[in-house]
A and B are shown apart, each in its own frame.
Chain A
Amino acid sequence: MTTEPNSESSADQQEASAVPLLEADSFPPAAAHSTPVRKKQKGERAEGGVVPQENQLDPSQVEEDRTSHRSSTSKLSRSPGGGRSVRSYKTMQCKVTLLDGSDYTCVVEKRERGHVLFHKVCEQLNLLEKDYFGITFRDIENQKNWLDPSKEMKKQIRGAWNMGVAWNFSFNVKFYPPDPAQLSEDITRYYLCLQLRDDVVSGRLPCSFATHTVLGSYTVQSELGDYDPEESGTDYVSEFRFAPNQTKELEEKVMDLHKNYKGMMPAEAEMHFLENVKKLSMYGVDLHHAKDSEGVEIMLGVCSSGLLIYRDRLRINRFAWPKVLKISYKRNNFYIKIRPGEFEQFESTIGFKLPNHRAAKRLWKVCVEHHTFFRLVSPETPPKKFLNLGSKFRYSGRTQAQTRRASSQIVRPAPCFERSTSKRYIMSRSLDGAPQSTPKRSSPKRSSPNRSSPKRSSPQKTVSPRIKPPASLNGTKPTEMGSDLYGRAKGIAVSDLITTVTPEKKVEERKAEEEVEVEVQVEVEEEDETTKATEMSQPSPTSPIRHDTKTELTDTCVDGELTATESDQDDESELKTQDTVGTPEELLKHATNISELKRSFLETGADTAGLTEWEKRLSSSPLRSLRLDEAPMIEPLELDEVPSKEDEREDERVMDAGGSIEEEINHSPVDTKTTVPKPTFEEMSPELTALLHSARYQTSTGGWTASPAHSQALLKTTEKVERIVLQTEVVSSQQTEEVEDQPKEQPAEDQEQPVEKQPDDRPDGMEKQAGQQPEQTSALESPEVLTFNRADVMEETEMLVPQDVPVIHTEMKTITYRSREGDADTDPEAGVLMSAQTITSETTSTTTTTHITKTVKGGISETRIEKRIVISGDADIDHDEALAQAIKEAKEQHPDMSVTKVVVHKETEITPEEGEE
């Protein structure tokens, strides 16, 4: 969901990453949705306990202290209340408004990821075909956001609307099946009906009077059963809500129709309802306000078949998914790249302006999800691996194809469930879906007519407010589906079939958290030809000279602007961790910046999403080309890089001067430090270059800064410097985030990393791979440095090339900061730096930071990829395996490259350095 600050996501994921790893091992996938015992315990504790909310210490907190000692600042900042109560921290009461208007409350651990809550709700609802549904919450702007199942709730919810004492959510249909008849279970259709009734009543789903009457009549049949002249009066339907503006005439028509349905089962009536409602032109269309390129107010509608453009109620354009090559967003702009039509020669990119960055990201996500769900057979693998640039965000649930397959496997007797009263007397939700008032339970629930007794004329008034789980079904309600129109032959009701397993989670897992850091260096030597082959994505290599690249860039300016995708991503923060631990000066700067950044992040809910920009670039790089081909059209991000970021930021400033404070804050550090042009990335893509180009003009004031940056980065290029600066800032931002967000152990570790670990690693690099080691010296000016570097590089390359062995010698190194500085003198080999970039990507359990530097020496272009993988997780990680896996992946992705060196740094709670591999 867009609400969460992007900046959070990196930290977020890092943390979250630890969990999946463990879970994956210990739980069968089927049990994934079940609630781990441990959480329950906590929940219970919190519920039952009379515990004061403040100043409560408990053992886990102690642990936390131990592990997080590094981040003292962060701790301070994150608990404004002063006291830290574990309970108040860790658990939270959630209220989920269900589709029938009732509320489901439960207690969750705040750090739990979204799917935990989602699965709880589905369990409560006895819903198996859950992939069509999701949980929403209102963000700070009262916009509806989907709770991302794979992310921590806490991170997503911060700053959200109405989230004070308890978290408020709604359970909603996320993907409206184009053909509801294909759903397997009546209960699924029932929930879909409930959603659609609300959509209709609220006006979100507009329909004609005639349609209101038809839909209303089926609703009545489904809830009340057959029309009974004796029992029902003349206004028995007036307690229902059928339409935004309900009239007596409408009610009369509904009654007229209702009389014709004698003998119709509830499920049947719902099916008729759905058959009618699905034909409405706005069925399943998720609307977003936007403006077109000329500033005209329009609506963008995302649906199963594509993207619809509306002006008022009129459809003015439509882009079916197959026509869309790429979807991206940048700042508050949303772009789609369209496949050339029959008569067009070129792809075109169309841009829309959304109210803000968050809205753009939200729209982008919804598009990605809809496309994946409806168009793909299986979800795109999230860019976990090596060298992924761009947002990590992918739809991770099942696609429609998959969920259909899965639901065809459902073998349970059709669950018996109560059909609760629809929203009656209740004002419809406001159009934008403002939190809806809970329907009065005062009107007794009527149990839906039973299948066995179609003619049920008298509503039962005994009903329990909620849909009963299968277990309760046996009693009065037989579940024979035989007569059901849409019935599937389901066996005899055995409620047990559905029970989910509750796997136990080791409570201790978290206690001992360990971080394994693996640094893999891959070096590749490419002949010029090779590079050429891949030039599409990386145009530069042959021309060492900056000017050339620049000129190229300018050509593509326009295009570049359009294609750039996600900006303001968090991902870079990761990068920094690696690179930035730089010079003391830098650190100082960080320190100073942190507070600012922190503030900014807090306020902004930072928009920095993940690694996005980088990923995109990568995608354009030859290395990734294979994968790209496979990849579906939706490319979340296009080349985004630091420079582009700057660019954007600059733009933003210019454009929305006086905009949000947060942004200003975020950017300010950057601006001050930025130096002039940065040619480095140009090679990656012309588009980037274009961005850079524009950026340059804007940021011409910069001066030289000391660069902690990695190595080769040739001090020569001012651009590098700039980038570095940026990164460092990012880091700081990340740190701030951590401070805020992660009260627990992990943050502490994270922070340690930059300070302690990194230095360690680098020295290694310095020795053997001089080129890649970060330079701490600010000596941009000194020629000597340069030469040094060259020498080192030479060495390295020699050494590196010969090694093909996949498993390399791994070293554990603990090197102090100082040593690093001392090494700083060494310079990477000269050559001409063609490009340098840093990419960060995260998977569930690992964080990968990749530096790619490209240099040209004597006609040979050398691409050096330095990859740093941080595997964080609880005690039980198999380091060797993780390492092997990482290396394997690296090799798979870059078969031409050889891994020359692996440095493993393992850190356990207190003793950062320990254990070798």
Chain B
Amino acid sequence: MASVLPYGRFTHAVVRGIPETFGKVEDEKNNKVENGETTMDLAKAQRQFGVLTGALRQKVGLQLIEIPADPELPESWRIEDVAVIQGDTALITRPFKQQRRSETEAVRRVMSELNLTVVEMGAEEGGSAGATLEGSDVLFTGREFFVGISSHTNYRGAEVLADTFRDFAVSTVPVCGGARLKNICSMGGPDTIIISNSDGAKKTLRMMEQLTDHHYEVLTVPEGAAANCVYVRGPSKVDYLLHPPTEECPESFPAFQKLTDYTLLPTACSEASKLGGSLTSFCLLINRKTYY
């Protein structure tokens, strides 16, 4: 296939700033927030975002493209949801929530500027009518896609994805033990899947194991939040793993240390996680070097 590289060879990251409307979404998610004291700390969230982007740029060495925050779009920082990128193709998704769909505009523009082939999910009516897909339900392993069927991503959305990335097997899996597929698992290396220890996550993992033709190493972490990490093999040929710090996931740190020769970058995202977000939510990772 044209651009098959081991997972993690990224050159660019696209992020979007935290708007002051951060957390001001009147939706189920907000109501779900359990503790009464879960008022969003905007400043803290922005600080954490800054640390994250700094790590990506300065430590990992990615070219960072930051789309300015838009107060009209309180959830636009979850940029992961609005595009799925593999190789030189970017599929612009159709988020479940109507009000999030305009988040795609800025992202689409950036993708075009990066010379990526932009694929749309299609008109709201017609063939892909009713299809919804969010990037946080998509796990690309470098060899294949797993699409979690969740409250935000449906079967038709997965079909569109499969139609877009035809080189790859696209398997659907149930999302158990979390709201999104990426809440319970993420890539921890070219052939390594990090997954949470919950029963639900194990169930999803079993399904993934059954569906795959490949063999993956599985790194199980005791805390759910620790299952979402950002792995990048940077231009300097070093394996970086951005993971929740010990304050957030005290028990999972030993697990990460099993990853030999990795540079571990503890990166806080406690504010985002209050909204169901996680480290991967913040960025779209792209490899533009392989373009011939």
Contacts and interface: CB of A to CB of B under 8 A. Distances in A.
Interface of A: 206-211, 213-214, 256-257, 260, 276, 279-281, 305, 311-319, 341-343
A209 B117 contact: yes
Nearest to A214: B2
Contact of B2 (A210, A316, A343): A210
Interface string B189-233: 000000000000000001000111100000000000000000000
Given A314-B155, A315-B169, A281 B88 contact: no
Contacts of A342: 206
B78 to A, nearest CB: 24
Given A317-B211, A318-B211, A312 B162 contact: yes
Given A211-B2, A213-B2, A313-B166, 8 more contacts: A208-B1, A209-B89, A210-B89, A211-B167, A276-B2, A313-B170, A314-B155, A342-B206
A210 B172 contact: no
Contacts of B169: 281, 315
19 contacts: A208-B87, A210-B89, A211-B166, A211-B167, A213-B2, A279-B167, A280-B167, A281-B168, A281-B169, A312-B162, A313-B163, A314-B158, A314-B171, A314-B172, A316-B171, A318-B171, A318-B211, A318-B212, A318-B213
B14 to A, nearest CB: 20
B170 A208 contact: no
B221 to A, nearest CB: 20
A214 B3 CA distance: 9
Nearest to B290: A210
B1 A211 contact: yes
A214 B211 CA distance: 28
Given A276-B1, A314-B172, A208 B159 contact: no
B159 A313 contact: yes
B143 to A, nearest CB: 8
B292 A207 contact: no
A315 B170 contact: yes
A316 B207 CA distance: 9
Most chain-B CB neighbours within 10 Å: which of A276, A311, A313? Answer: A313
Interface of B: 1-4, 87-89, 117, 144, 147, 155, 158-159, 162-163, 165-172, 206, 210-213, 292
A315 B210 CA distance: 11
Given A208-B89, A314-B155, A315-B169, A280 B162 contact: no
A315 B172 contact: yes
Contacts of A312: 159, 162
Contacts of B211: 315-318
A343 B4 CA distance: 35
A388 to B, nearest CB: 33
Nearest to B171: A315
Contact of B144 (A256, A276, A281): A281
A214 B167 CA distance: 12
Nearest to A306: B213
Contacts of B165: 208
A206 B292 contact: no
Q: Which of B1, B159, B211 has the most CB of A within 10 A?
A: B1
Given A209-B117, A312-B159, A313-B163, A280 B1 contact: yes
Contacts of B158: 314
A314 B170 contact: yes
A137 to B, nearest CB: 30
A580 to B, nearest CB: 49
B292 A257 contact: yes
A263 B91 CA distance: 37
Contacts of B144: 281
Nearest to A279: B1
Nearest to A305: B213
B210 A317 contact: yes
B2 A279 contact: no
Most buried by B among A208, A209, A211, A213: A208
A279 B3 CA distance: 11
B232 to A, nearest CB: 22
Contacts of B147: 314
B166 A316 contact: no
Closest 10 interchain pairs by CB? Answer: A210-B2, A281-B169, A313-B162, A315-B171, A206-B166, A214-B2, A208-B167, A318-B211, A211-B1, A211-B2
A281 B172 contact: no
A261 to B, nearest CB: 12
A210 B1 contact: yes
Nearest to A210: B2
Nearest to A276: B1
Contacts of A256: 292
Nearest to B143: A279
Contacts of B163: 313
Contacts of B171: 314-316, 318
Nearest to A277: B1
B162 A210 contact: no
A279 B89 CA distance: 18
Contacts of A343: 206
A276 B167 CA distance: 10
A214 B4 CA distance: 12
A343 B207 CA distance: 12
A209 B167 CA distance: 9
Nearest to A312: B159
A796 to B, nearest CB: 55
Contacts of A206: 166
A303 to B, nearest CB: 9
Nearest to B156: A312
A219 to B, nearest CB: 14
A279 B20 CA distance: 46
Contacts of B172: 314-316
A208 B2 contact: yes
Nearest to A278: B1
Nearest to B3: A210
A279 B159 CA distance: 20
Contacts of B166: 206-208, 211, 280, 313
Nearest to B146: A315
Contacts of A314: 147, 155, 158-159, 162, 170-172
A318 B1 contact: no
B292 A279 contact: no
Contacts of A319: 210
A317 B211 CA distance: 6
Which has the most chain B C-beta neighbours within 10 Å: A209, A260, A305?
Answer: A209
Contacts of B210: 317-319
Contacts of B206: 341-343
A309 B266 CA distance: 40
A211 B169 CA distance: 14
A256 B292 CA distance: 9
Select the residue from A279, A316, A341, A342 with max chain B CB neighbours within 10 A. Answer: A316
A343 B210 CA distance: 13
Q: Which of B117, B163, B169, B212 has the most CB of A within 10 A?
A: B169
B281 to A, nearest CB: 24
A616 to B, nearest CB: 28
A433 to B, nearest CB: 19
A341 B4 CA distance: 32
Contacts of B89: 208-210
Contacts of B159: 312-314
A280 B211 CA distance: 15
Contacts of B88: 210
Contacts of B170: 281, 313-315
Contacts of B212: 318
A214 B206 CA distance: 35
B175 to A, nearest CB: 15
Contacts of A214: 1-2
Nearest to B170: A314
Interface centre among B3, B87, B292 (most CB of A within 10 A): B292
A361 to B, nearest CB: 27
Contacts of B155: 311, 314
Contacts of A318: 171, 210-213
A109 B117 CA distance: 56
